[in-house]
Amino acid sequence: MNISVLDQSPISEGSTGADALRNTLDLARLADDLGYARYWVAEHHGTPMLACASPEVMIAAIGSMTRRMRIGSGGVMLPHYSPLKVAETFSILSALFPNRVDLGIGRAPGTDHATAFALQRDRRQIAPDDFPEQLGEMLALFENRIPAGHPFARLAALPGRPHVPEVWLLGSSPQSAVWAADNGLPYAFADFINPEGASYAAIYRDRFCASETLTKPRIIVAGWAVCAETDEEVQRIASSARMTRALLNQGQLIPVPPIEKALRFLEERGPSADTVARPRRAIIGSPTVVRQKIEQLATLYGADEVMIVTITFDHAHRRRSYELIAKAFGLA
């Protein structure tokens, strides 16, 4: 089983977005050395908690300072962009880093409605909900199967050919499972957003249609995890992310708080403050415990790979968590 990293570039209280982005580059170098299979960066807009609004920029930087692991987006939010622009951008990245680039595509806005509207080029009306058409056009560009008489046919001569990325469909709903299956795409499910996805993974496998690029179903499950040497220490470290999740459930976005502040918050709100409004799965523990729970998560989804997202206040704790998980699985 492969183990990978999903980095949301968290911004800690008292630090800046620039600090968070530099931490992402530092963590990517470490993950490459530790033996993680791939490293994806997320796309979020207009939030004080997460810094990466441009995955393609970070992928280029990460690719230039790593050697072997796959790099990519988790994901690019396609409704904000033209399919051609995304195809050209990831064609270029694929040429720069051959056989290493993944393009994870998502439908969610990665932000609130007001910010999503601000991202639109044409604001005379709300952008259409035409994700399946966007996805189909982008895949046709990558696969060079636009009909000869079509006005876009010549655009399939993408600048990075013959290199193209490996396209993944991201999701946290049954609809995303259907789109991934119908298009013959590998599927990455965000269990850290929706822990009820095992049945959606089954839908994906049951209706999967083989494509030119994929002959059988392939699933990554992305889970939230924090690891430390002892159970007591990891509970302290995880408190910062638990506080942010509790407030996120209430519609409040904040930078990742210091541990002591988070512990006070959880003491006041109760031990289940981050799961009362919306249940979420959290893998928190020592290396042995975390390995066992990650393996259970993979089994639950029938996943070939587990992607770990970790948020802590102190970047050193995040580094150490990934070091311990790598050691527990013998990645190096």
What's the CA gap between 305 and 314, in Å, rounded?
27
Spatial contact of 176 and 187, defined as CB atoms under 8 Å apart: yes
User: Residue 3: beta bridge partners?
Assistant: 306
pLDDT of residue 125: 82
How does pLDDT run across 244-275, given as a tens digit for each residue?
Answer: 999 988 889 999 999 999 999 999 987 777 77
DSSP string of 17-42, one letter each residue:
HHHHHHHHHHHHHHHHHHT-SEEEE-
Of 35-39, 57-61, 93-97, 267-271, the least confident: 267-271
Among residues 247, 244, 191, 221, the alpha carbon closest in space to that of 306 is found at 221
What's the CA gap between 35 and 2, in Å, rounded?
10
Match 């580059």 to its residue by tokens. 25
How does pLDDT run across 80-103, given as a tens digit for each residue?
Answer: 999 999 999 999 999 999 999 999
Does residue 276 carry a pLDDT above 60? no
Confidence band for 149, pLDDT divided at 50, 70 and 90: confident
CATH code: domain 2-329 is: 3.20.20.30
Among residues 15, 34, 67, the alpha carbon closest in space to that of 308 is found at 34
Does residue 155 carry a pLDDT above 80? yes
Mean pLDDT of the chain: 94
What single-letter DSSP state applies at residue 314?
S
What single-letter DSSP state applies at residue 154?
G
Q: Where are the domains of the chain?
A: 2-329
Number of residues written out for the chain: 332
**Position with higher pLDDT, 137 vs 109:** 137
CB atoms within 10 A of CB 167: 23
Spatial contact of 34 and 326, defined as CB atoms under 8 Å apart: yes
pLDDT of residue 47: 93
Match 């790979």 to its residue by tokens. 305
How does pLDDT run across 170-220, given as a tens digit for each residue?
Answer: 999 999 999 999 999 999 999 999 999 999 999 999 999 999 899 999 999
What's the CA gap between 53 and 46, in Å, rounded?
8
What single-letter DSSP state applies at residue 239?
H
CA atoms within 13 A on the CB side of 187: 34
Q: Judge residue 129's burial from the number of C-beta atoms within 10 Å of its C-beta, 0-12 exposed, 13-18 middle, 19 or more buried.
A: exposed
Average pLDDT, stretch 43-47? 93
- Percentage of the chain beyond pLDDT 70 is 98
**Position with higher pLDDT, 271 vs 309:** 309
Q: pTM value? A: 0.94
